[in-house]
């Protein structure tokens, strides 16, 4: 294959091969590094938990109106369903952790340049069920039924009940 034809190839994101992370991925990695530095400075006090929650609420407040409304509702559902989960930023987005390990998270569609936001679970979530379980959901709106379903999933994810 000639050098000219290799140069014309693109990966699934439309980038030339070997270009590395996208702009959004690089920004997320930088935000995660900043989060880790902030965590190290804050230590493990009650003040840290309050500061982490303020950071999450500030990040939600910065979101575009549609994502902000959705993130506010998700935050309310998660904190009501599993008050033992601590809000914190994870790759620059709201997340909820137990013993420092993220169990579930919200991703802004606007930040990710997607047509929908998402709510997902990590391997820390206790959702294992019959060899198949959810790891993420696309969100464009959150109805009362959706809020109830999300609440049940979060409750199950922390090991307190059936899905």
Average pLDDT over residues 44-51: 77
Looking at residue 18, its pLDDT comes to 62
**What average pLDDT does this structure show over 37-55?**
77
Give the pTM: 0.74
pLDDT of residue 27: 75
Task: Please state which of the ranges 7-16, 95-104, 110-119, 126-135 shows the lowest mean pLDDT.
Answer: 7-16
In this prediction, residue 58 has a pLDDT band, given cuts at 50, 70 and 90, of very high
Tokens matching residue 70: 């959705």
Burial 123-159 (b: 16+ CB within 10 A, else e): eebbbeeeeeeeeeeebeebeeebbeebbebbbbbbe
Higher local confidence (pLDDT), 14 or 111: 111
Q: What is the pLDDT of residues 102-111, one digit of tens each?
A: 999 999 999 8
Whole-number Å distance between alpha carbons of 76 and 59? 15
Predicted confidence (pLDDT) at residue 1 exceeds the cutoff of 50: no
pLDDT at 162 > cutoff 80:
no
Q: Give the residue, 147 or 44, on which the prediction is more confident.
A: 147
């Amino acid at each position: 294959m000639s050098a000219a034809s290799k140069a014309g190839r693109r990966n699934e994101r439309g980038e030339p091969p070997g270009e590395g992370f996208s702009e959004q991925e690089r920004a997320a990695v930088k935000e995660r590094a900043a989060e880790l530095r902030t965590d190290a400075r804050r230590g493990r006090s009650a003040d840290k938990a309050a500061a982490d929650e303020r950071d999450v609420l500030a990040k939600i407040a910065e979101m575009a109106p549609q994502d902000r409304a959705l993130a506010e509702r998700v935050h309310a559902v998660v904190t009501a369903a599993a008050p033992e989960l601590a809000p914190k930023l994870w790759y620059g987005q709201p997340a909820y952790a137990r013993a420092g390990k993220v169990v579930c998270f919200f991703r802004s569609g606007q930040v990710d340049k997607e047509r929908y936001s998402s709510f997902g679970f990590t391997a820390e979530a206790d959702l294992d069920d019959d060899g198949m379980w959810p790891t993420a959901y696309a969100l464009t709106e959150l109805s009362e039924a959706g809020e109830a379903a999300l609440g049940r999933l979060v409750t199950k994810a922390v090991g307190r009940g059936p899905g």
